[in-house]
Structure 1
């Protein structure tokens, strides 16, 4: 399969929002394309995230979204690979690996020390994919969340 990876812009917002909605549904969220589109638009307008799209057959079929963080021990910038999704019709064709590779290249281009990510323990595909792509499982840390009410 022939596909390319490109950096998303506001011109790609509609297609990106549709994929983002499918991604959120995968994580058991209610479908809400318009709210997702507004969220992505704000991230792009304020340079708060970088999104790369996989394009095949003339349309966006996958994406990765990265957020800038800073690593406290390395004292350097790093990227949070927050979201990775490939449309079910295009899975198994190397698109996820290409999006991860592009994210690694982005680290080089932006002088970042690396990527970090988290995924649910039940994400069998991701939990097999990430080690194959060079990610190391961090069993030393507990991750906690606090959400305002």
Structure 2
């Protein structure tokens, strides 16, 4: 199947919110299209993230979302590959790799030094996929978070 991958804009808000909601459900979050719609709308309105949608026959079947960061060693912009999702009906067809490749192209287009990501240790698919796409595992760091 041929997939079209394009950068999302406000005209894509409903479709982007739908696939983002499915992504969150996949990660054991509550179904909440309205909240996802508002979240994606804020990101797009304020240029806070870049979303690339994968379409098949006009339907959104996957996406990747990138947030701008800055690398303290390279002293350059980099992108956080925050979210990557392919609808279960389209998995195993190389679409994740196409979305990652588009993210790498975005680095070239924006003068960024690269991509970084983190994923759950239990994400067997992602943990097998990312090294195949040229990502190196950084076992020297522990990632911690704080929630208010």
Under a length normalisation based on structure 2, what TM-score does the superposition of the two structures give? 0.99
Distance in 2 separating the partners of 1:116 and 1:36: 23
Per the TM alignment, residue 57 of structure 1 is displaced from its structure 2 partner at its CA by 1.6
1:130: which partner in 2? 130
Instruction: Show the counterpart of 1:33.
Output: 33
Unaligned runs of 5+ in 1: none
Which has the larger displacement, 19-28 or 99-108? 19-28
Q: How many residues align?
A: 148
Deviation at residue 89 of structure 1 after TM alignment:
0.5
Residue in 2 that maps onto 1:79: 79
Moved over 3 A (4+): none
Aligned mates of 2:92, 2:11 — CA distance in 1: 27
Provide the rounded CA distance (Å) in 2 between the counterparts of 1:87 and 1:15.
13
What is the SS of the residue equivalent to 2:142? coil
Unaligned runs of 5+ in 2: none
TM-score (norm 1): 0.98
RMSD value over aligned CA atoms?
0.5
